[in-house]
Each structure stands twice: as structure tokens, then as C-alpha cells.
Amino acid sequence: MDRISLGCQVCLSTFFEVRDLKRHMSSRAHQQKCTDVFKQDIYKGSGNFPFIALVRQRAKEEIRQPLTGLTLCFSRETDNFFYLCHLCEEKCPSSRILSHLTSIDHCRNYSSHTNPNVLRFSWIPSNNVKDILRPQVGHGVKESGGGKLQLLDLPGNLLKKHETSSYSEVMRTFSENETLLKLLEAVKPKRVMMQTYQRDGNRKHPLLGMQHLVECICVGQTEKRHYLCTLCQLTLAAHAIIKHVLSFDHVFCYFRAWHPHTLLAKESYKAYSPVFSSTMLNLAKQTEQIHGTANADMKQVSLEPTKFTSVNFTCYADALKELESIRNENKESSLITSVTPGNKLALKKLETIRKENEESSLITSVMPGNKLGMYFIYFLTFNLGFTIYTSIIQR
Ligand SMILES: [Zn+2]
Ligand SMILES: [Zn+2]
Ligand SMILES: [Zn+2]
């Protein structure tokens, strides 16, 4: 990772050296701005300043992605400090920040946030980054530089109050201060939204089962969103929705419902491999062609702020019950999409499906998922065998 810049979250100014940031934070202008934002006197001396391990060479070598959406919260009145990772919506102590930023979960959230195309379609949870991300992820790192770390200079009482709080508790308190909320929003990296990704002409991945997703939006605060996947029976935070739809967990539930017996038992799929990848893509493209636009629309529920905060989005059953009763009151249809299971799918050449669909649309309505032979897999195996054979011959 390249050079990291440092931002003052209160003044929205940027520095390239720790000593310049320290000098800024001891200045009268910065201290006055803090007093205005927090509406209380803050510590006037130079006080404690956090040790920023992330700017050290070793950390820069280990972290794969540019820093983004990361706030270091500290107070000069105490030597404790913590980080907020807005990409993962997690609070992290300084002792774990390096392992967090180099973790596969953060890596996946970074990709989902900035460019979902770099995730692998139907990714399987794994400790191997190659199983999660497509190889071109490396290019983005160089282009985007080292990124920026925001530092938030807090009054001592506010920092102490949140030493043991969760990410959402800290953010709830920060959001109650309108000025601070605006400052945080000003530098928050823009997330790729599900609708934007769905309409993106450069989208690389099929999106299956969109009709089973429910998007709950808070009226007047559209950045507040929660999702339900009624197929997998899960609630999901906004940062997790795209990576969920691209995950094998979701793709598996989709095929189990719409094309039963197409896939083997879930435990049979343990590792990501080229054959697994092309199989899943082939089946996904078939089902997209069979179901066409019926696949496309996510359901939306708009909730007034008091209703939005009253729904328990940590529990799927509670959230669904609450949302269904609201829909019922408004005489709207249920959020559950009924499924008519189609035929078992087998691997086939995609041109064959297109041709079949064109022919049947001239004659009669399409019956989903005709079963064909497994010659695609023979074709793959033959090709692989042939490549190995020729490489041996060439030695
Ligand atoms: Zn400042
Ligand atoms: Zn993170
Ligand atoms: Zn799902």
C-alpha cells in the first residue's frame, strides 16, 4: 500500500505527516472548531496523541487495499483509542486493527463496497483470498494509492462513555449531533448500492432471487437501510447485501427453491475451483434465461423514522412479522414471493438455451429448465486433459 494521508474529521483538513496533524490539533483554530461541534469545552493542552501503527512501513506492506471508511476515535484526555471501520460497520481496538484490515472479511467488504465485480460469483467462505476475489483486484490497489485515515478528536467523557460500546451504539450517539453527522457523511466513501449494481452495464455477475429481497428504507434518511432475504430467511445490513446475493449460501438456497435437485447436498461444495465456478455460472445463466425479468425486482418498504427504529432488524422472524403487519394495515400484498419449482437443471451450452428459447417463443410458452445431457462437463474435462497432455508432450 502507498502513502496514507491523515484527515482531521472535525475540520475536514488533510495532512501527510503525523507531526503536521499533531501541530494542527494543538492549534487554537482546531480547538475552537471542536468546542463548536461538541458544544463543550475540550482539553486545551497537547495531551495524549494516539500511536498510529498504520502509517508504519510494516503495516503498509501487509494491508492489501487502500484505507477508506476508517475513523480513529481518540481523546487527548485519555490514552485509550479505538477505530471505526465503516465498511464492515465494526468497532475495533487498536490492538486488532492490523489483523482486521488484513482479514478476509474486511477484504470482501471492501470489494463489495467499491466494485462487486471483483468478488467471485458464488463465493464460498474460505481463508484463501483467491477463493473470494477475482485476480484483477490487485490492479485497483495501485491505482487508488494508500487512502486516508480520519482522526476524530473527542472530548474525554464521550470517548470514555464508548470504550466498551458496539459500532452501532457509537454511531447512534454521533448521529444525535447533527454537525458531527454532517462531517462524518462528508468523508464517508460512497457504497455501490444494489440498484446501481443491478443496472450497471459492466456488471459481471448474475443476480439471482432478487424478488426475494426486501429493502426497508427510512423516510427522509435514505442512507438508513436494512434488507431481508426471504429465501435464506436472514436480515442483512446495507453493507452486506451485494456480497450476500453473490454468495454460494444464497445461490444454493435459490436453486434449492427454484430448481430442486440441481445441486448436490450443500456439504459437497467445500472449495472454490475452476470447475465449480463454471458450473455455477452456467446454471445461473440458464435460470436467468428461463425466468427472464421475473427475476429482477426487489421489494421496497418505506418506514417513518420511528417505525424504522422500532423494527428489530437483528431477528429475521421479528422483522418479517412487523413488516408484514405494516403491509397488512396498508392493504398491501405479502413480502413472501411464492415459488413454483422448475425442473432440475443440467449443464448445457448457453447458445443451446438461447436457441431453444427463441424457437419455443415462436411456438408456445416456455416450460422451465428442460433436462439436457452432461456433455458440457465432458467438454471441460476433455479440454483440461488435452491441455495437460500437450504440456507434457512439449517438455
Ligand atoms: Zn482539526
Ligand atoms: Zn473493515
Ligand atoms: Zn439470500
Starting from the CA of residue 255, give the closest ligand.
3
> Cell 436494512, residue?
226
Question: From CA 388, how far away is CA 250, in angstroms rounded?
Answer: 34
Ligand 2: centre distance to CA 88 (Å):
4
Q: What is the pLDDT of residues 286-334, one digit of tens each?
A: 999 888 765 578 999 999 999 999 999 999 999 999 999 999 988 999 9
Specify the pLDDT at position 384.
42
CB atoms within 10 A of CB 1: 20
Starting from the CA of residue 337, give the closest ligand.
3
Residue 43 reports pLDDT greater than 60: yes
Ligand 2: centre distance to CA 104 (Å):
9
Q: What is the pLDDT of residues 114-154, one digit of tens each?
A: 999 999 999 998 878 777 888 764 444 444 567 899 999 99
This prediction's pTM: 0.82
Sheet holding 5-8, edge to edge: 13-15, 5-8, 148-153, 70-74, 81-85, 90-93
Percent of residues, the chain, with pLDDT higher than 70 = 84
Starting from the CA of residue 113, give the closest ligand.
2
pLDDT band of 62, cuts 50, 70, 90: confident
Q: Which residue has the higher pLDDT, 75 or 361?
A: 75
Specify the pLDDT at position 393.
35
- The average pLDDT across 71-85 equals 93
Specify the pLDDT at position 351.
62
Domain ranges within the chain, ordered by starting residue: 5-187, 194-345
Residue 385 reports pLDDT greater than 80: no
Ligand 2: centre distance to CA 56 (Å):
19
Q: What is the pLDDT of residues 266-286, one digit of tens each?
A: 999 988 998 999 999 999 999
Query: For residue 124, which phi and psi values (nearest 5 degrees)?
Result: -110, 135
Specify the pLDDT at position 395.
34
Specify the pLDDT at position 368.
40
Ligand 3: centre distance to CA 245 (Å):
6
Residue 376 reports pLDDT greater than 90: no
Ligand 1: centre distance to CA 41 (Å):
15
Q: Which three cell numbers stand for residue 38?
A: 461538541
CB 214 within 8 A of CB 226: no
pLDDT band of 189, cuts 50, 70, 90: confident
Starting from the CA of residue 86, give the closest ligand.
2
Specify the pLDDT at position 113.
92
Nearest to 170 by CA among 227, 92, 240: 92
Ligand 3: centre distance to CA 159 (Å):
37
CB 340 within 8 A of CB 291: no
Ligand 2: centre distance to CA 100 (Å):
6
Q: Which residue has the higher pLDDT, 388 or 358?
A: 358
The one-character DSSP state at 284 is H
Starting from the CA of residue 111, give the closest ligand.
2
